[in-house]
Amino acid sequence: MNGWTLSILGFYYIGLEAWCMKFVHGAMAEVHVIGQIVGATGFSESSLFCKWGVHTGAAWKLLSGVREGQTQVDTPQIGDMAYWSHPIDLHFATKGLQGWPRLHFQVWSQDSFGRCQLAGYGFCHVPSSPGTHQLDCPTWRPLGSWREQLARAFVGGGPQLLHGDAIYSGADRYRLHTAAGGTVHLDLGLLLRHFDRYGVEC
Amino acid sequence: MVSGKPHGGSQQEPAQEDQDPDTHLLSMPTQRGPRSLPPLPSASRTGFAEFSMRERMREKLKAARSKAESALLQEIPTPRPRRLRSPSEKELETEFGVEPGRETQRTVQDDDSQSYSRVKFRDCVRKIKSKPPLPPGFPSAEEAYNFFTFTFDPEPEELEEKPKAKHREGANQEEVEGEEEGPPVQGVNKTDEEELLAGRDAEHFLLGSHHGAEDFVAVRPAYYESVHIRLQKEKELLFIPSRLTVPTYKKLPENVQPRFLEDEGLYIGTRPEVPRATQNIMENRLLVQESDRRWFGDDGRILALPNPIRPSPSRPPALTQEQDIHAELETLYKKAVRYVQKTQHMIGSGDLPENFQLDIDISGLIFTHHPCFSREHVLAAKLAQLYDQYLARRQRNKAQFLTDKLQALRNAVQMGLDPAKSHKSVDITPKAINEYKSEIRQTRKLRDAEQETDRTLLKTIIKVWKEMKSLREFQRFTNTPLKLVLRKEKVDQKADEEAYEAEIQAEISELLEEHSEEYEQKMEEYRTEYQQWKAWRKAQRAKKKKKKQAAEEHPDEEVEEPSPGEGPVKPIPPEPTQRAVLEQQVRERAARSRRRPGEPTLVPELSLAGSVTPNDQCPRAEVLRREDVKRRSVYLKVIFNGKEVSRTEGRPLGADFRVHFGQIFSLQIVNWPESLTLQVYETVGHSGTTLLAEVFLPIPETTIVTGRAPIEEVEFSSNQHVALDHEGVGSGVPLSFEADGSNQLILMTSGKVSHSVAWAVGENGTPLIPPLSQQNTGFRSALKRADAISSIGTSGLTDMKKLAKWAAESKLDPNDPNNAPLMQLISVATSGESYVPEFFRLEQLQREFNFVSDEELNRTKRFRLLCLRSQEVPEFRNYKPIPAYDREIMEKVFQDYEKRLRDRNVIETKGHIDSHRAVVAKYLQQVRESVLNRFLIAKHHFLLTDLIVEEEVPNISILGLSLFKLAEQKRPLRPRRKGRKKVTAQNLSDGDIKLLVNIIRAYDIPVRRPTTSKFQQPSRSSRTFRERHAASPTTHSPTHSADYPLGQVLVRPFVEVSFQRTICHTTTAEGPNPSWNEELELPFRAPNGDYSTTSLQSVKDDVFINIFDEVLFDVLEDDRERGSGIHTRIERHWLGCVKIPFSTIYCQARIDGTFKIDIPPVLLGYSKERSVITERGFDSVRSLSEGSYITLFITIEPQLVPGESVREKFDSQEDEKLLQATEKFHAECALKFPNRQCLTTVIDISGKTVFVTRYLKPLNPPQELLDAYPNDPQATAELVARYVSLIPFLPDAVSFAGICDLWSTSDQFLDLLAGDEEEHAVLLCNYFLSLGKKAWLMMGNAIPEIWFNIQRYDSPLRVNFDVTKPKLWKSFFSRSLPYPGLSSVQPEELVYQRTDKAAAAELQDRIEKILKEKVMDWRPRHLTRWNRYCTSTLRHFLPLLESSRGEEVEEDHRAELLRQLGDYRFSGFPLHMPYSELKPLIEAVYSTGVHNIDVPNVEFALAVYIHPYPKNVLSVWIYVASLIRNR
Average pLDDT of the residues in B851-880: 77
Is the pLDDT reported for residue B1259 higher than 80? no
Chain-chain contact of A155 with B886 (C-beta, under 8 angstroms): no
The confidence band for B569, taking pLDDT boundaries of 50, 70 and 90, is: low
Q: Which of A26, A61, A97 sits opposite B886 (nearest CB)?
A: A26
Q: Which of B1482, B1477, B1480, B1472 is nearest to B1411 (CA)?
A: B1482
A66 in a structural domain:
yes
Among the partner-chain residues B315, B321, B857, the one whose CB lies closest to the CB of A93 is: B857
A106 occurs within a structural domain = yes
Contacts of B322 in chain A (CB under 8 A): 145
Which of A63, A121, A143, A195 to probe the B interface (max B CBs under 10 A)? A63
Set of chain B residues whose Cβ sits within 8 Å of the Cβ of A99: 843
Q: Which residues of A touch B846 (CB under 8 A)?
A: 57-59, 96, 98
B1520 touches B1424 (CB < 8 A): no
Task: Tell me whether residues B336 and A96 touch, CB distance under 8 A.
Answer: no
- Name every chain B residue with its beta carbon within 8 A of the beta carbon of A94: 851
Instruction: Give the SS3 label for residue B6.
Output: coil
Q: How many alpha carbons fall within 13 Å on the CB side of residue B845?
A: 4
Residue A16 lies in a domain: no
Distance from CA of A135 to the nearest CA of B (A): 26
Cross-chain Cβ contact A98/B843 below 8 Å: yes
Is residue B698 within 8 Å of B799, Cβ to Cβ?
A: no
* Residue B336 with chain A: CB contacts under 8 Å: 111, 113, 115-117, 155-158
pLDDT at B257 over 70: yes
> By residue range, what is the domain housing residue A44?
29-198
Weakest mean pLDDT among B178-192, B313-327, B486-500: B178-192
**Spatial contact of B386 and B464, defined as CB atoms under 8 Å apart:** yes
Contact B339 A114 (CB under 8 A): yes
Say yes or no for a CB contact (<8 Å) between A28 and B863.
yes
**What 3-state class would DSSP assign to B802?**
helix
Distance CA B907, CA B918 (A): 7
User: Which one has a higher pLDDT value, B879 or B1170?
Assistant: B879
Q: Are B120 and B144 in contact (CB under 8 A)?
A: no
d(CA B1433, CA B1505): 12
Q: Cα B134 from chain centroid?
A: 101
Q: How many CB atoms lie within 10 A of CB A91?
A: 20
Q: Answer yes or no: is pLDDT of B7 > 50.
A: no
Distance from CA of B330 to the nearest CA of A (A): 6
Read off φ and ψ for residue B1469, nearest 5 degrees.
-160, 150
Decide if A169 and B781 are in contact by the 8 Å CB cutoff.
Answer: yes
Nearest to B846 among A93, A96, A113 (CB): A96
| Rounded Cα–Cα distance for residues B1145 and B1099 (Å) | 11
Buried/exposed B1354-1364: b ≥16 CB within 10 Å, e otherwise: eeeeebeeebe
Query: What is the predicted pLDDT for the residue at B854?
Result: 75
For residue B863, give the chain A residue with the closest CA: A63
A98 contacts B331? CB cut-off 8 A: no
Mean pLDDT of B1118-1136: 70
Beta-carbon contacts below 8 Å between A and B: 148
Q: Which residues contact B1172 (CB under 8 A, 6 or more apart)?
A: B1045
Q: What confidence score (pLDDT) does residue B23 get?
A: 42
DSSP string, B928-966: HHHHHHHHHHHHT---HHHH---PPPP-HHHHHHHHHHH
- Cβ-defined contact of B866 to A116 (cutoff 8 Å): no
ipTM of the complex: 0.78
Question: For chain A, what's the residue count?
Answer: 202
* Lowest-confidence segment of B456-465, B883-892, B1238-1247 by average pLDDT: B1238-1247
- Report which of B793, B795, B318 is spatially closest to residue A176, judged by C-alpha positions: B318
Residue B107 has pLDDT above 60, yes or no: no
Q: What is the pLDDT of residues B1011-1020, one digit of tens each?
A: 543 333 333 3
- Measured between alpha carbons, how far is B1288 from B1509 in angstroms, rounded to an integer? 13
Overall size of chain B counted in residues: 1527
A159–B863 CB contact, under 8 Å: no
How close does chain A come to B259, measured CA to CA in Å? 42
Q: How far is CA B590 from CA B450, B504, B593, B987, in A?
A: 12, 8, 5, 102
Query: Does the residue A13 lie in any domain?
Result: no
Q: Name the residue in chain A with its Cα closest to that of B870.
A: A64
Residue A5, min C-alpha distance to chain B (Å): 28
Helices (H), B150-246: 161-177, 192-207, 227-237
- Mutation to test the A interface, candidates B843, B846, B852, most A Cβ within 10 Å: B852
CB–CB of B1018/B1454 below 8 Å? yes
Q: Residue A64: closest CA among chain B residues belongs to which residue? A: B870
Greatest mean pLDDT among B68-72, B243-247, B544-548: B243-247
% of chain B surpassing 70 pLDDT: 50
Confidence at residue A132, expressed as pLDDT on a 0 to 100 scale: 94
Res. B414: pLDDT tops 80: no
Cis peptide, bond prior to residue B430, ω within 30 of zero: no
The neighbouring-strand residues paired with B639 are B644, B677
User: Which range is least confidently modeled, B158-167, B547-556, B1054-1063, B1286-1295?
Assistant: B158-167
pLDDT of residue A88: 93
**Amino acid letter for position B1429:** Y
Find, among B158, B139, B137, B157, the residue nearest to B147 by Cα: B139
pTM for this prediction: 0.41
pLDDT tops 70 at residue A142: yes
Q: pLDDT band for position A137 (50/70/90)?
A: very high
- Of the partner residues A91, A96, A160, the one whose CB lies closest to the CB of residue B334: A160
pLDDT at A131 over 80: yes
Q: What is the mean pLDDT of residues B74-86?
A: 47
> How far is residue B831's CA from residue B800's CA, in Å, rounded to a whole number?
11
Nearest CA in chain B to A193: B884
pLDDT band of residue B663 (cuts 50, 70, 90) is confident
How many domains does chain A divide into?
Answer: 1
Choose the most confident range, by mean pLDDT, from A114-128, B408-422, B564-578, B1025-1039.
A114-128
Query: What's the pLDDT tens digit per position in B115-127?
Result: 444 444 455 455 5
| pLDDT computed for residue B424 by the predictor | 46
Q: How far is A2 from chain B (nearest CA, A)?
A: 31
Q: What is the mean pLDDT of chain B?
A: 67
Chain A CB contacts of B863 below 8 Å: 28, 61, 63, 93
For helices B102-110 and B116-130, the axis angle rounded to 10 degrees is: 90
A197 contacts in chain B (CB < 8 Å): 851
B1099-1123 core/surface letters (b: 16 or more CB in 10 A; e: else): bebbbbbbbbbbbeeeeeeeeeeee
pLDDT tens, position by position, B434-448: 777 788 888 888 888
Cβ neighbours of residue B810 closer than 8 Å, sequence gap 6 or more: none
More confident residue, A194 or B415: A194
Decide: B574 and B523 in contact? Cβ < 8 Å: yes
**B1411 alpha-carbon distance from chain centroid:** 53
CATH code for position A71: 2.60.40.150
B1224 φ/ψ sector (left φ>0, alpha ψ -120 to 50, else beta): alpha
Selecting from A65, A117, A177 the residue whose C-beta is nearest the C-beta of B336 gives A117
The per-residue pLDDT for A138 is 94
Interval A104-126 mean pLDDT: 90
Q: Is residue A51 part of a domain?
A: yes
Contact: B849, A151; criterion CB under 8 Å: no
- pLDDT surpassing 70 at residue B474: yes
| Axis crossing angle, helix B1397-1418 with helix B1478-1488, rounded to the nearest 10 | 40
pLDDT, tens only, B1179-1189: 344 444 467 78
A177 chain-B contacts, CB cut-off 8 A: 318, 321
Inter-chain residue contact B326 with A172, CB threshold 8 Å: yes
Are the beta carbons of B336 and A156 separated by less than 8 Å?
yes
- Please report the pLDDT score of residue B1081 as a whole number: 86
pLDDT digits (tens, 9 = 90+) for B339-386: 554 433 333 333 344 567 888 888 888 888 887 787 788 888 888 888
Chain B residues within 8 A of A110 when measuring between CB atoms: 339
Query: Closest to B860 (Cβ–Cβ): which among A28, A113, A177?
Result: A28
Q: How confident is the model at residue B587 (pLDDT cuts 50, 70, 90)?
A: confident
Nearest CA in chain A to B331: A161
Q: Do B336 and A172 touch (CB under 8 A)?
A: no
Q: How confident is the model at residue B1152, as a pLDDT?
A: 78
Would residue A113 count as lying in a domain? yes
Nearest residue of chain B to residue A175 (CA atoms): B325
More confident residue, A176 or B16: A176
Mean pLDDT of A61-86: 90
- The average pLDDT across B722-746 equals 70
Residue A140 domain-assigned? yes
CA-to-CA separations, B1016 to B29, B354, B1452, in angstroms, rounded: 137, 84, 14
* Interface contact B853-A95, CB threshold 8 A: yes
- Winning range, highest mean pLDDT, from B36-50, B1105-1119, B1300-1314: B1105-1119
Q: Ranked by mean pLDDT, which of B84-98, B549-563, B833-847, B1121-1135 comes out on top?
A: B1121-1135
A57 and B843 in contact by Cβ < 8 A? Answer: yes
Among B253-262, B741-750, B1331-1340, whose mean pLDDT is lowest? B1331-1340
Q: Which range (B566-570, B689-693, B1004-1008, B1205-1209) has the least confidence? A: B1205-1209
pLDDT of res. A187: 95
A100 lies in a domain? Answer: yes
Does residue A185 carry a pLDDT above 90?
yes
Determine the Cα–Cα distance for residues B1470 and B1447; give it in Å rounded to an integer.
12
